[in-house]
Amino acid sequence: PAEPESPYRVVLLGASGVGKTAFASIFAGAADSMDSDDCELCGGEEKIKTTVVNLNIKSFLRRFWQHMQTGDAYLLLYSITDRTSFLRASELRITLRRFCPAQNTPIILVGNKCDLVRRREVSATEGRACAAVFDCKFIETSAAMQHNIWEAFHGIVRQLRLRRDSR
Ligand code: GDP
């Protein structure tokens, strides 16, 4: 079947300060503003539109639910240096499941800031276990070191392709 021209919407979700903007900036190849922003990105033939959603009350009310319904794929970010952001990611995963009727919506749990080894509060084992429970992929990244960022991106693209091909 012919692909629609509209880009996939990849939503970056997570608590404030976990690195969503840094992530989106790498994808876009340009710096974005601190608040929610959209950017276009071309990954090979795939056209991806990333949307950053900061989980604070203001943007929660303004944008959160809207994106819950329109995302084709989700990167669920937490910081490995911030256990609270990890707990938030778990809550978001539950909410996503409730509001995304499509069972096969690609979701990747992303433990960012893995360069900050001495400030680690969440182990990779915990992250992986959480992803297993929530039935999604898992990866640890460092936006600062540009480590595993493209692996995360390609993981999403791979899942979107699989989903498209199985239609
Ligand atoms: P957002 O609120 O989720 O969009 O988070 P930001 O992308 O604005 O990042 C918050 C802060 O964490 C900024 O000072 C970033 O430079 C920093 N940061 C983001 N990713 C990383 C990372 O992988 N490693 C380190 N050391 N700092 C990071």
CA distances from 122 to 10, 87, 125, 148 (A): 25, 10, 8, 18
Interval 77-92 mean pLDDT? 93
pLDDT, tens digit (0-9, with 9 covering 90-100), for 92-132:
888 777 766 566 788 899 999 999 999 999 999 999 999 99
Ligand 1 mutation target, pool 11, 12, 13, 18, most atoms within 8 A of CB: 18
Note the ipTM here: 0.98
Q: What CA dihedral angle connects 163, 152, 110 and 123, to 10 degrees? A: 120
Q: List the residue whose alpha carbon is closest to atom 14 of ligand 1.
A: 17
Cα distance between residue 78 and residue 16, in whole Å: 9
More confident residue, 160 or 80: 80
Interval 52-80 mean pLDDT? 65
Cα distance between residue 53 and residue 59, in whole Å: 7
Residue 53 phi, psi (nearest 5): -120, 110
- pTM score, whole prediction: 0.81
Question: What lines the ligand 1 site, CB under 6 Å?
Answer: 14, 16-22, 34, 52, 54, 112-113, 115-116, 142-144
Cα 23 to ligand 1 centroid, rounded to whole Å: 8
Radius of gyration of the chain (CA): 15
Cα distance between residue 14 and residue 89, in whole Å: 6
